[in-house]
Amino acid sequence: MAATTSRTLELLSLLQSHRHWSARELVDRLGVSERTLRRDVERLRELGYGIESMRGSAGGYRLEAGTGLPPLLLTDDEGVAIAVGLRSQATAGLRGAEHTTLSALAKIEQVLPPALRRRIDALASHATVGVGARDARGRPAPEVDTELLGLLALGCRDSERLRFSYTDAAGESSSRVIEPYRLVPVARRWYLLAWDRQREDWRTFRLDRISDVFQTRVHFDPRPMNDETARARVETALRWRDRSVRARVVVDLPQAELVDHLGWYGRDVVADGPIRCVWPLEADTVENLVMALMWVPREATYRVEGPPEVLEFLAAQAERFGAATAAPPT
């Protein structure tokens, strides 16, 4: 009986740790026959766990959502209190505990019945988390959508491709298809580290700029990634982005040609037609931003779109260069 109970609990742990398991995977993990696996599944169902079984080549088992809070020796009030506490800790950005918090939050919210979920949402909407929180520059940190946080956490846990709309720092919106890896809090903000399938490179997304998330139900084979590497990638990306001056360079060249010319520095170049592309620039000063214009191929014409201080600086420098070429030799 003790072995049966231990095996059943191990099965429950596996079902809670992943969205879907094939019967073959569970049989191999538990070291039992398919008949014994079916019996263990029935035992969990008798205890109140809703477990969906699917037939066919892609068949298997998964823990159903919304069928009732499983018997964790908790009352409904205690379950609500734990979920609210986990959400609060997740949005507080506590370093060192973020991934375990999100894992626990994903597990409990996966099986919350609708009535309890509504109570938690109501509490979250009327409770202020992190009042007075500030980012690295002392500005108020943006609010984190806890539903979005949980959805992205599930995508990271289950290695599921996601599609969403993303608004960049310049206010431009784009559709992204990504493979999510880690949620990383930095300076009171949450960031998603993901592999961008369209750009074929790593990208870091601020959660408060993500909207309209769509779960594709398509799974991917994750690349090796640990917490230290994920944080290092995000912090490196943020150091590059932490600029105060931005502009767009509209270049009369095909996107592929400019990207090939710029190499790594052209990773954000986007097409604006078959023979035109846009190169977004960021820098800590106007002078450093303008220096990047020297990288545009000499044969290409281009136009700079940006704030008045950038355009005024360019006009002044053009006048200086003109005067320099007209000056007689000494």
What is the sign, positive or negative, of the torsion defined by CA atoms of 265, 270, 275, 276? negative
Mark whether 169 and 233 lie in a shared domain.
yes
Among 168, 181, 179, which residue's Cα sits nearest to residue 211?
168
Q: Which amino acid is at 251?
A: V
Domain range for 42 is 2-63
Same domain assignment for residues 276 and 230: no
Q: Which of 84, 74, 100 is nearest to 17 (CA)?
A: 100
Claim to verify: residue 159 and residue 223 sit in the same structural domain: yes
Report if residue 18 sits inside a domain: yes
Model pTM score = 0.44
Residues 213 and 232 in one domain: yes
Q: Is the Cβ–Cβ distance between 120 and 87 less than 8 Å? A: yes
Same domain, 176 and 214: yes
- Pair (152, 121) in one structural domain: no
The CATH number of residue 183's host domain is 2.30.30
Q: What is the pLDDT of residues 89-131, one digit of tens each?
A: 665 544 445 566 667 777 777 777 777 776 666 545 434 343 3
Task: Flag whether 141 is in a domain.
Answer: no
Residues 156 and 227 in one domain: yes
pLDDT of residue 163: 95
pLDDT score at 59: 74
Q: Where are the alpha helices (DSSP H) in 33-113?
A: 34-46, 76-92, 98-110
Residue 144's DSSP bridge partners are none
The CATH number assigned to the domain holding 316 equals 3.30.70
Output b/e per residue, 219-251; b: 16+ Cβ within 10 A: eeeeeeeeeeebbebbeebbeeeeeebbbbbeb
Q: How many CB atoms lie within 10 A of CB 18?
A: 13
- What is the number of structural domains in the chain? 4
Domain C-terminal end among 241, 258, 284: 241
Task: Output the pLDDT for position 322.
Answer: 84
Q: Which two tokens stand for residue 32?
A: 């039992």
Cα distances (Å, whole numbers) of residue 69 to 22, 43, 65, 207, 315: 24, 16, 9, 29, 66
State how far the Cα of 111 lies from the Cα of 63, in Å rounded to an integer: 8
Predicted confidence at residue 135, as pLDDT, reads: 45
* Structure confidence at residue 329 (pLDDT): 62
Pick the last residue of a domain from 214, 241, 268: 241
> What tokens appear for 266 in the block?
């052209």
Q: Are residues 271 and 319 in the same domain?
A: yes
Residue 69 domain-assigned (yes or no):
no
Tell me: do 201 and 121 sit in the same domain: no
User: Low-confidence residues of the chain, pLDDT below 70?
Assistant: 1-3, 17-19, 57-58, 65-81, 84-85, 87-102, 118-146, 187-188, 239-244, 327-330
In whole angstroms, give the CA distance from residue 234 to residue 27. Answer: 38
Question: DSSP letters of 281-303?
Answer: EEESSHHHHHHGGGGS-TT--EE
The model's pLDDT over 46-92, given as tens digits with 9 standing for 90+, comes to 877 888 888 776 678 887 765 555 555 456 666 666 776 676 666 55
Cα–Cα distance between 242 and 232 in angstroms, integer?
15
Give residue 89's pLDDT: 62
Residues 206 and 290 in one domain: no
The pLDDT score that the predictor gives to residue 137 is 42
Percent of the chain exceeding pLDDT 90 equals 20
Rg of the Cα trace of the chain?
26
Whether the Cβ atoms of residue 101 and residue 145 lie closer than 8 Å to each other = no
